Amino acid sequence: MISKQPQCAPWCALIFVFLSVSVFAYETDQLTNRSQEIADSTTVLNRQVNLAITRVASGWRDGPDRWAFVQGIYEQIGGPNWVDEIERYAMFSPYVERIDAPRWDGIYGDMPLWRTRIIYFTGVSKTIRLGGELVGTDKLGHFISQGRKFYRRYLKVGSEELAAKRSAYTERGIFGSLLAGAYSNADLVANYEGYRFYRSLFEDDVVPGKRAILRWQNGAWIMQRPFDWNDHVNEYWDEALNPSHYDALLQEAMAERFVLYCPQYWSDPQAYVVENDDALRTRYWHLQLRDNRQMRLDSLCPIYAAEVDETAISEVVYSDDVCAASSEAC
C-alpha cells in the first residue's frame, strides 16, 4: 500500500520564494531620512552603463543583431539573479552614497507579517540620489532587467501599449501586489524607461533631440554618444512623490504611518511637490498606473492637519458646553 505524501507544492514554493528573496528588498522607502544629504551618483552609475556598452561593442562578432546586443548589455550589468549587477553595485560600492532605511523604523515599521507579507522578511531597499531624484536601488534592476523584458515584448507584438499591459501584469504578481501588497507605480515607470533605453541604443529621437547611442558601420557597432541616466530618471521614480497603490490590508495602515512624517513635510513642503505632475501622469498613463496621489504628503498632511484642528475645536466646544451645564466652575 502506498502511503499518502503531504501535498508540499504550495508551501514548498512559498518557502522557496522566501529563501530566494531574502538577499534583496521588494519595496523601497523615500520618506525615512529624506532630508539626509547624499551625493548624486549619476556620474558614477553613468560610467557603469557606458563601460558595459563599450565592452559589448568592442568584442562584437554577431553582426547587426540588436537583440543579441541587448542580451550582451543584460549579461554585463543585469543577470539572471534576483539582484542585478548594477543594483548590487549601487548597494555596496563605496563610490555610491546611500540613505539607509532602518528595518524596524521606516514606513513599514513594526507592522505584522500578515499585513506586510514578504516585506516582513526582506525589508526595504536603500535609497540613492540619481538624476537629482531620490530613488530606491531596486529601480536599477527594474530598468535593466524588466526594461529588457518590456523591450522583448515590444519587438514581439509591435505595440508599446500591449507590452505595457504585460509589465503591469508582473507588478500585480510576484513583483508587487501578490507578495507585498504594494502595486508600485514607480517600478512601472522604471521598467518603461529601461525599455526606452534599449530602443535608444539603436534609434534616433527615442530620447528627444538625441541620436541613437550606437550605429552599425563597417561591420561594427560605433558608439555615437554616451548613455546618461538624466535622460530617463524623473520625479516619478521617487516613491514618496509617486506613491504605490496598496491593497486592503495595507492602505489604511500606510496612511496612518505616513502622517507620522508630516512634521518632516511641514519643515520643507517643496520637497514633496511634483513640478510636472500632470505631464508625467499623462506620459505614463498607458503603463496602467494606479493613482494614489492622496497618499503623497502634500495631499495627506494638509488634510490631516485640518482634521486635527477640527477635533481640537470640537473638544473645546464640548468642554465649554459641559461647563455651562455644570454648577461647578470649570
The sign of the dihedral angle between the CA atoms of 279, 282, 288, 291 is: positive
Q: Write out the residue range of the structural domain in which residue 267 sits.
A: 27-325
Does residue 12 belong to any structural domain of this protein?
no
Does residue 121 belong to any structural domain of this protein?
yes
Q: What is the pLDDT of residue 259?
A: 92
Q: What is the pLDDT of residue 310?
A: 46
Q: How many CB atoms lie within 10 A of CB 89?
A: 19
Local structure of 15: helix, strand or coil = helix
Place of cell 522566501: 18
Does residue 3 belong to any structural domain of this protein?
no
Which grid coordinates belong to 155?
Answer: 519587438
Does residue 116 belong to any structural domain of this protein?
yes
Report, as ranges of residue numbers, the positions in the chain whose pLDDT lies below 50.
1-25, 112-114, 116-117, 120, 173-174, 176-177, 309-323, 327, 329-330
Does residue 136 belong to any structural domain of this protein?
yes
Among 213, 162, 212, 171, which Cα is nearest to 191's? 171
Does residue 84 belong to any structural domain of this protein?
yes
Does residue 178 belong to any structural domain of this protein?
yes
Q: How far apart are CA 312 and CA 184, in angstroms?
A: 36
How far are the Cα atoms of 145, 228, 234 from residue 183, in angstroms, in the given order?
Answer: 18, 27, 19
Does residue 215 belong to any structural domain of this protein?
yes
- Could you list the beta-strand ranges (E) of the chain: 27-28, 124-125, 127-130, 133-136, 182-183, 214-217, 220-223, 245-246
Q: How many domains does the chain have?
A: 1
Q: What is the pLDDT of residue 246?
A: 80
Half-sphere exposure of 310 (CA within 13 A, CB side): 6
Q: Which amino acid is at 142?
A: H
